[in-house]
Structure 1
């Protein structure tokens, strides 16, 4: 692989709490291969908070970054409480010499007026997980007792989208479920007028395939779902909301760059800090095998630059070189970028594979390319 200079991390995912108050059956943290969460502290200690702030500020300063992004994550980050969250964000804003965008990604069940007032004071935007209408959401996103969480999330969103707090609303995150109708799901989310929606494919791989994925060739159920959604979204007479995966695919097709992991060939510019202070790769790798995301680094002794010395991180400096031979020769590789690394895993040969979603990604990329090409051709004809 050619020598590619280290690219600074610009997104810092901070796991302020390692547990969750829900028991979603598709969760990649608690239901997949990596169970290290069991031995991690539930909440970041003040010492780990201090070192985390120091390392983020150091990285931004050393690389002369003019902006950076922090995402407060979990588990369920609100379980950390307003004290820990307030101290972390306040210290980051004082220490980081750059524009700092801070977002908390929450399941919404604990989001109340006290938290919203804190986030307004600290300028923290709020992303909420919602899988559609009540039936769709409560099929998977339940508490330990099995009770659905839609009612609690609906209450939280009513407050978040009120005039007083709407400026804090970062968007919605929805996990794709083939059982749900894509258009019905999308329109249920539109009711909250989100600025953007993230649609996530369920995390799986060749050893443990995602639900509903056929073993044989030909069928593309996830592409079918996403294409129906894309056509509804793209054909709307006015832009109703952003859909991140579509926006990023369109950006790549039109000659730009993707900011989304799993779209395009850009190198990953994010790093994760766990509650115990360990520095890790994308936590989605927890869906593959235990320790897949580990770097062996810790905020108390290591800079984030040290992660570039970890072979697995180094291999992803150049996404094209990191792809398997099948993906390197694919006509859509620039668009899908081989998909998420976690989705390429197979127990007997690691990550040197196409995505388990390869046929779906291929069909989706081709469909979007064809629609955009047809529209551009029509526009050229109309302007002659």
Structure 2
């Protein structure tokens, strides 16, 4: 359907697998443990073998029916590395085999806090071709403001342990496994240029900036003040000034949509739906994890891998709708809607009108988009920015 209409997904090509439902850190902005949803308390720590086997079958049948060229299986948590090498290796091998036999290329990635990366873990990941995304919020000061060990733990901030894991990942033997860094923006964490340089020092192939999950009822600190937008504008300038050595999907998506009308590869913006589904450790099927910010159970689709195929899940009530017609009037009439798409769905929620609101980060996104478009219009930027090749894809991240 055209962007002016309502868009419903026809198929998934990204499967976010909660292989382990607990974590060895206690990040204060975590969407799993610190927001509205409490479902993790009742779920098994490690996804049981019966769930893993059924999930692999469901993925295979979905891929056979829809024939995507590429499928991503993302191991998440909690901290997925807590599941252990045997579970990771066995599930990954089975998932890759099912996707390949169904006729698609399988991409396996694990999103980790980085504290458990050692040579034994990296050897397992290397053997099974599993790439690694690591959560890092910048330099030590910025990172350790939020990403700390559990209360009562002998560990304080986690920056030193993450840095040690990244040092291993950056070795030539493992370098090909490095998928990129994920940074949660905090305008009070320090100079954006310092934070960006701390990320770039690890020479990541990609950097993903994301905003803390929140809603109009429960906003993150400073949400809507413009502070996040101003921080991202400064980070963009630093990225461009330093030669764009790493991809930054948020910035590239805004530029590509402004210049070429291309789709977004960042979950924070865009009109088209991310073709992703979340499978919890007990086999329950959820929509985007960001909906944990809305209410207890808001992310739950209502089925499990035992009760529903993934095609059946797409027909369940509550499946997200996208496109301009699915947005509130304020967004439909906004000149930036074709770029921002009203932002992340969870960020629009408020009790009075549900999702029929602009993003709680509307001012911040507007500042960033306007800043980038002004730079594009000032000359030099558009000529240096190539037209996208269409190979990017939106991921679920934490």
Give TM-score, length-normalised by structure 1: 0.93
1:125 lines up with 2:128 in the alignment: no
- Aligned equivalent of 2:343: 339
- Aligned equivalent of 2:79: 76
Question: Deviation at 1:378?
Answer: 8.6
- Aligned equivalent of 2:252: 247
Pairs within 5 Å for 1:294-373: 294-313=300-319, 315-316=320-321, 318-373=322-377
- Using a 3 Å threshold, how does the CA distance of structure 1 residues 331 and 164 change in structure 2: closer, same or farther? same
- Using a 3 Å threshold, how does the CA distance of structure 1 residues 345 and 3 change in structure 2: closer, same or farther? closer
CA distance in 1, matches of 2:315, 2:210: 30
CA distance in 2, matches of 1:375, 1:49: 52
CA distance in 2, matches of 1:321, 1:379: 33
Question: Deviation at 1:263?
Answer: 1.5
Greater mean alpha carbon deviation, residues 170-179 or residues 259-268: 259-268
Greater mean alpha carbon deviation, residues 302-311 or residues 75-84: 302-311
CA distance in 1, matches of 2:107, 2:39: 29
- Using a 3 Å threshold, how does the CA distance of structure 1 residues 118 and 3 change in structure 2: closer, same or farther? same
- Aligned equivalent of 1:58: 61
- Aligned equivalent of 1:227: 233
CA distance in 2, matches of 1:261, 1:229: 18
Greater mean alpha carbon deviation, residues 4-13 or residues 270-279: 4-13
CA distance in 2, matches of 1:304, 1:260: 23
CA distance in 1, matches of 2:336, 2:157: 39
- Using a 3 Å threshold, how does the CA distance of structure 1 residues 377 and 169 change in structure 2: closer, same or farther? closer
CA distance in 1, matches of 2:9, 2:159: 43
- Aligned equivalent of 1:201: 211
- Aligned equivalent of 2:36: 33
Question: Deviation at 1:379?
Answer: 5.6
Pairs within 5 Å for 1:277-288: 277-288=283-294
Greater mean alpha carbon deviation, residues 156-165 or residues 358-367: 358-367
Size of the alignment, in residue pairs?
373
- Aligned equivalent of 1:265: 271
2:201 aligns with one of 181, 191, 196: 191
CA contact (8 A) 2:5 2:326 kept: no
- Aligned equivalent of 1:165: 174
CA distance in 1, matches of 2:136, 2:9: 36
Question: Deviation at 1:360?
Answer: 1.0
Give the 3-state SS of the residue equivalent to 2:379 in structure 1. Answer: helix
CA distance in 1, matches of 2:230, 2:32: 27
Q: Deviations over 1:263-288 (max 9, x none)?
A: 11112211000001011100110011
5+ long unaligned stretches in structure 2: 385-398
Q: Deviations over 1:131-187 (max 9, x none)?
A: 111111111111012611111101100100011101100000111111121110000
- Using a 3 Å threshold, how does the CA distance of structure 1 residues 353 and 378 change in structure 2: closer, same or farther? closer
- Using a 3 Å threshold, how does the CA distance of structure 1 residues 204 and 93 change in structure 2: closer, same or farther? same
CA distance in 1, matches of 2:223, 2:262: 31
Q: Deviations over 1:274-311 (max 9, x none)?
A: 00101110011001101111111111121111122123
CA distance in 1, matches of 2:139, 2:129: 29
Q: CA RMSD in A?
A: 1.8
